[in-house]
Amino acid sequence: MAKVEVLATELVVPAGETPGGSIWLSNLDLAARRGYTPTVYFYRPKNHGAVDPEEAFFAAGAVKCSLAKALVAFYPLAGRLGLDDAAGRLQIDCTGEGAVLVTARSDHYALDELMSEFVPCGEMRDLFVPATPAPNPPCALLLAQVTRLRCGGVVLGLALHHSVVDARSAAHFVETWASISRGNHQDAPLVPPCFDHRLLDARPYPARAVLYDHPEYKPEPAPVDVTPVSASTYASAIITVSKKQVAALRARCAGASTFRAVVALVWQCACRARALAPGAETRLYSMIDMRPRLAPPLPQGYFGNAVVRTSAVVTVDEVVSSPVAYGARRARAATSQGDDYARSLVDYLETVDTMNLPRSGISRAHLRAISWMGMSLSDADFGWGAPAFMGPALMYYSGFVYVMNAPGKDGAVALALSLEPDSMPEFKKTFADELARLEVEV
């Protein structure tokens, strides 16, 4: 028996007139993974005694109407990925064809059962996020699925094309859609989106200058003393770090942000769980949102990819044998770059074929950490309360970790992470032991 039954699939077009033409994509858009980013939002059932069926909890008509209104301001998401006729460069064709909306139901799951079972993986993505087409022109850019559970709860699953949005832009869209659904800002979003990707164009000669090496955008050298692992083979987990544990960890890592302190501990425990050779190199990859770091800063509502990959590399022994504060300092070194670094990267990408950039995975010795901590769950309230959980529906390969605000627990952190199946049990034990030690330090 299928765990989720699809009831309807339709195209939702903008509720009003929108611009046509095309939108140029920057080198950072082209360097992003060409594919869809699947996310899920879990909502507990709330009826509020609604008399009008269209005001009931996630009523199909209300969801469709609010989405159509949101697509007026965010009209590129109603378009299709396209190609510039002259250069063959990816662009957004503002066709107004619409976003895909799927309605579904599951008589198998109640919300609490699903939350206890859920980990980001292919099965969960396939159940609660719409099936996506090949991510090449002329594909849709936004697909959404509303699945009503046995208990009346709802899962909202989204797939947004990564060539046109990063996590910050995706959150901007969801927050606007939710605000419209709540009855706020019907005519315009609180923060207007900016689609001028030329703000991240490469500099003209002679100002163009590649001042940094940018190894994150080059193929990894063959690992030494590290057993290779299939990129598609991983075990995933959701782990919560309490407010008390976060405070103790930050006290160990004086001056470090929550993200850097937590990632430092994950890095240390992952190196131990993987039983890596002490002299092997381990690299911590991260992503930096450059919107506020450029000179001048990008508009607050810049809608596109404005993140750059960075990394720090050390030996396994340095990570494992040093206090966790050492890893936090290395994480800070990997996430402190500014305008000159971003401009150097954009100029570098102008010189390479962005289709051949490494995107398929990382070595078993490495870790890729991404912060979603700026994404407020309360802003994803569609009128029936904030989500009980929000996170990725899928991990792309082993060695990924997302750091997020834990829902309903002020100051706590939720980790969504993936490791090799043989490393995950030892990681969970090692990480739990470290968290227990933190508990007694506060």
Least confident segment among 206-210, 345-349, 364-368, 411-415: 206-210
Contact 99, 78 (CB under 8 A): yes
Per-residue pLDDT, 326 = 93
Contact 226, 364 (CB under 8 A): yes
Per-residue pLDDT, 226 = 47
Per-residue pLDDT, 188 = 61
Residue whose C-alpha is closest to residue 328's, from 312, 317, 308: 312
pLDDT over threshold 60, residue 264? yes
Superfamily of 7-200 according to CATH: Chloramphenicol acetyltransferase-like domain (3.30.559.10)
**Residue 252 backbone dihedrals phi, psi, to 5 degrees:** -70, -30
Q: What mean pLDDT is predicted for residues 237-258?
A: 92
Q: Which of 196, 379, 381, 422 is catalytic?
A: 381
Contact 294, 342 (CB under 8 A): yes
Euclidean distance between CA atoms 156 and 425, whole angstroms: 30
Query: Please, what is the Cα angle at 281 between 276 and 286, to 5 degrees?
Result: 105
3 state SS of 176: helix
Q: What mean pLDDT is predicted for residues 300-329?
A: 94
* 254: its two tokens: 């004086």
Report which residue type is found at 302.
Y
Q: What mean pLDDT is predicted for residues 240-245?
A: 93
Euclidean distance between CA atoms 90 and 93, whole angstroms: 9
Q: What mean pLDDT is predicted for residues 191-205?
A: 93
Pairing of strands 142-148, 154-161: antiparallel
Contact 411, 239 (CB under 8 A): no
pTM here is 0.93
Report which residue type is found at 189.
P
* 212: CB partners within 8 A, 6+ apart: 341, 344, 345, 348
pLDDT in tens, 10-44: 999 999 999 999 999 999 999 999 999 999 999 99
Euclidean distance between CA atoms 165 and 172, whole angstroms: 10
* 273: CB partners within 8 A, 6+ apart: 419, 423, 424, 426, 427, 430
Superfamily of 229-441 according to CATH: Chloramphenicol acetyltransferase-like domain (3.30.559.10)
Per-residue pLDDT, 390 = 93
Q: What mean pLDDT is predicted for residues 385-404?
A: 93
Q: Which of 29, 93, 162, 166 is catalytic?
A: 162
3 state SS of 109: coil
pLDDT in tens, 265-305: 999 999 999 999 999 999 999 999 999 999 999 999 999 99
Band of residue 222 on the pLDDT scale cut at 50, 70, 90:
low
Count of Cβ atoms closer than 10 Å to residue 52 Cβ: 9
Q: Beta-strand (E) ranges in 202-343?
A: 235-241, 281-289, 307-315
Report which residue type is found at 396.
Y
Place of tokens 């611009």: 19
pLDDT over threshold 60, residue 253? yes
Contact 126, 147 (CB under 8 A): no
Q: What is the DSSP letter of 405?
A: E
What Cα–Cα distance (Å) separates residue 159 from each residue in 1, 133, 213, 219, 327? Answer: 25, 11, 33, 27, 33
Per-residue pLDDT, 307 = 95
Per-residue pLDDT, 143 = 98
Residue whose C-alpha is closest to residue 333's, from 322, 323, 341, 343: 341
pLDDT in tens, 43-74: 999 865 554 455 689 999 999 999 999 999 99
Per-residue pLDDT, 184 = 73
Count of Cβ atoms closer than 10 Å to residue 176 Cβ: 25
* 216: its two tokens: 């994150």
Q: What mean pLDDT is predicted for residues 385-400?
A: 93
Per-residue pLDDT, 54 = 57
Euclidean distance between CA atoms 137 and 126, whole angstroms: 22
* 324: CB partners within 8 A, 6+ apart: 249, 252, 253, 261, 264, 265, 268
* 301: CB partners within 8 A, 6+ apart: 172, 189, 191, 192, 193, 194
Is residue 112 among the annotated active site residues? no
Contact 104, 155 (CB under 8 A): no
> How many alpha carbons fall within 13 Å on the CB side of residue 132?
27
Band of residue 430 on the pLDDT scale cut at 50, 70, 90:
very high
All CATH 3.30.559.10 domain ranges in the chain, comma separated: 7-200, 229-441
Euclidean distance between CA atoms 175 and 165, whole angstroms: 14
pLDDT in tens, 69-115: 999 999 999 999 999 988 889 999 999 999 999 999 999 999 999 99
3 state SS of 319: helix
Euclidean distance between CA atoms 145 and 129, whole angstroms: 6
Q: What mean pLDDT is predicted for residues 211-238?
A: 73
Query: Please, what is the Cα angle at 178 between 177 and 180, to 5 degrees?
Result: 65
* 328: its two tokens: 């936090």
What Cα–Cα distance (Å) separates residue 409 from each residue in 9, 256, 258, 378, 405? Answer: 35, 21, 15, 12, 8
Is residue 381 among the annotated active site residues? yes
